[in-house]
């Protein structure tokens, strides 16, 4: 049986913190699908297609990782992909309450799918897509926080 995990999120845009979680998950699972959520209600900076493409480029060297998008209920998407687990990243206690609620709700919706939490390297615990966008908007250097392709995309997007 292949072990398949879904790593869902907005990824608006992907950061080195997300990548750290992806690399850790890739060691535990045969296949990791980074699933970009449509999340129109969050008014993302990047379109769904752009966010998926940024993930796809950044994970190109990881043979068992792929990028996809979804707009349905997460547990339904996970079941359709035959995934046994949902991976989420935990940075600090502040993430815990929401993530705990989400994990228990997903278990209520489908008890066969386990949620696995992964902690990033400590240097990434302060990183969030929101903060990256804020720094980039103000002209700050984000090169040590995001992959090179994301840095380029941010520059291009914010100059438009
Ligand atoms: P969402 O909008 O679903 O929270 P995000 O793209 O912000 O999507 O995050 C996706 C997942 O990655 C979440 O579980 C989040 O807690 C986790 N995450 C975000 N940033 C980091 C980081 N720097 N280190 C580890 N996990 C992270």
Residue 11: which region, alpha, beta or left (left: phi > 0; alpha: psi -120 to 50)? left
Q: Whose CA is nearest to atom 23 of ligand 1?
A: 17
Do 130 and 26 form a contact (C-beta atoms < 8 A)?
A: no
> Tokens standing for 64?
């068992």
Mean pLDDT of the region 93-110: 94
> Tokens standing for 115?
């949620």
Cα 83 to Cα 2: distance, rounded to the nearest angstrom: 9
The model carries a pTM of 0.95
Q: Does 67 sit behind a cis peptide bond, omega within 30 degrees of 0 on the bond before it?
A: no
> Tokens standing for 22?
């992806």
Residue 34 clears pLDDT 90, i.e. is over it = yes
Q: Whose CA is nearest to atom 18 of ligand 1?
A: 89
Q: How far is the CA of 127 from the centre of ligand 1 (A)?
A: 9
Mean pLDDT of the region 90-95: 88
What is the band of 7 on the pLDDT scale with cuts at 50, 70, 90?
Answer: very high
Question: What's the confidence (pLDDT) of residue 110?
Answer: 97
What is the band of 94 on the pLDDT scale with cuts at 50, 70, 90?
Answer: confident
Closest ligand 1 atom number to CA of residue 88: 14
Cα 63 to Cα 34: distance, rounded to the nearest angstrom: 13
Q: Helix or strand or coil: residue 17?
A: helix
Question: What's the confidence (pLDDT) of residue 93?
Answer: 84
Paired strand residues for 68? 35
Domains in the chain (CATH in brackets) are 4-159 (3.40.50.620)
Question: What's the confidence (pLDDT) of residue 135?
Answer: 96
Residue 160 clears pLDDT 80, i.e. is over it = no
Active site residues: 18, 42, 91, 129
User: Which residues sit with their C-beta closer than 6 Å to ligand 1?
Assistant: 9-11, 15, 17-18, 21, 88-89, 91, 95, 120, 124, 127-129
Paired strand residues for 69? 36
The average confidence (pLDDT) of the chain is 96
Q: Whose CA is nearest to atom 1 of ligand 1?
A: 9
36-82: per-residue pLDDT in tens?
Answer: 999 888 899 999 999 999 999 999 999 999 999 999 999 999 999 99
Cα 159 to Cα 156: distance, rounded to the nearest angstrom: 5
Residue of 40 and 98 predicted with greater confidence: 98
CA angle 125, 57, 151 (to 5 degrees): 55
């Amino acid at each position: 049986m292949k072990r398949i995990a879904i790593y869902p999120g907005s990824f608006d845009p992907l950061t080195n913190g997300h990548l750290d979680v992806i690399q850790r998950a890739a060691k535990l699972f045969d296949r990791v699908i980074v699933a970009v959520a449509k999340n129109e209600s969050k008014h993302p900076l990047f379109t769904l297609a752009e966010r998926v493409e940024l993930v796809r480029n950044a994970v190109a060297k990881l043979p068992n990782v792929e990028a996809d998008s979804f707009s349905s209920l997460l547990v339904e998407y996970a079941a359709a992909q035959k995934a046994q687990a949902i991976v989420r990243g935990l940075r600090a206690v502040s993430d815990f309450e929401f993530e705990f609620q989400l994990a228990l709700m997903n278990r209520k919706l489908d008890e066969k799918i386990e949620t696995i939490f992964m902690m990033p390297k400590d240097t990434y615990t302060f990183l969030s897509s929101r903060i990256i966008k804020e720094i980039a908007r103000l002209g700050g250097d984000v090169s040590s926080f995001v992959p090179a392709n994301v840095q380029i995309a941010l520059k291009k997007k914010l100059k438009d």
